[in-house]
Amino acid sequence: MTAQHLKLGFLASRNGSSARAVIAAIESGRLDASARLVVSNNRTAPLLAFAEAHAIPALCIATQADPRAADARLSEALQTAGVELVVLSGYLRQLGPKVLGAYRNRVLNIHPGPLPRFGGHGMYGRHVHEAVIAAGVAESGACILVVDEEYDHGPVIARHVVPVEPGDTAETLEARVTAAEPGFFVETLQRIAQGELKLPG
């Protein structure tokens, strides 16, 4: 096992709960990492203000007007900041070829349900929990996966099980999975930093 210092970049569209938890773990010394850059596609994303308050470089890169230019700018910004591993924390845009090419097997996302069964296009947020409840399965949970060109398609590197309780609704299940996600992301990054968990490639 070879320990390593993680040089992290964060992408978020809104609040970035997992990103906040990871940054808190870095600041408290529980995670051997540095937060190099926070980027949002949304100028009013609360995570941008959070990053600035914690002296982390923050940037808004809008993606809708010119996705190709935004992809190139994002790739350049991450590399210039020295980012080696990208954490998606509620980033509601598909990554482009420049970022995915520069960070092949180095972009991690968290999905709020079992993969591959409850993943793919349109399977996000409450939709995932509704599908889990409708399927009548006994377990749900969160998956951390390596991001590639397809939604929820890359290899899953860690799973956190959340049992489906009798009488659960999509809302109650969502609340428990959402509460578990930030700590699970921190734990997974700790395992990577400590050399216990290897990324593909």
**Residue 36: which CATH number?**
3.40.50.170
Q: Average pLDDT over the chain, rounded to whole?
A: 96
Residue 198 resides in a domain:
no
Quickly state the pLDDT bin for 191 (edges 50, 70, 90). very high
Rounded to 5 degrees, φ, ψ at 5 are -85, 125
User: Hey, how many other C-beta atoms are within 10 angstroms of the C-beta on 80?
Assistant: 11
> Quick check: 116 and 152 in contact, CB under 8 A?
yes
Domain limits at 41? 6-193
For residues 39, 97, 72, 42, the Cα torsion angle rounded to the nearest 10 degrees is -30
Residue 35 resides in a domain:
yes
Q: Domain count of the chain?
A: 1
What pLDDT does 201 receive?
83
Residue 111 is a catalytic residue:
yes
For residue 35, which amino acid is it? A
Residue 199 resides in a domain:
no
For residues 131-135, average pLDDT: 98
What pLDDT does 1 receive?
66
pLDDT in tens, 54-99: 999 999 999 888 999 999 999 999 999 999 999 999 998 899 999 9
Active-site position among 5, 54, 111, 121 = 111
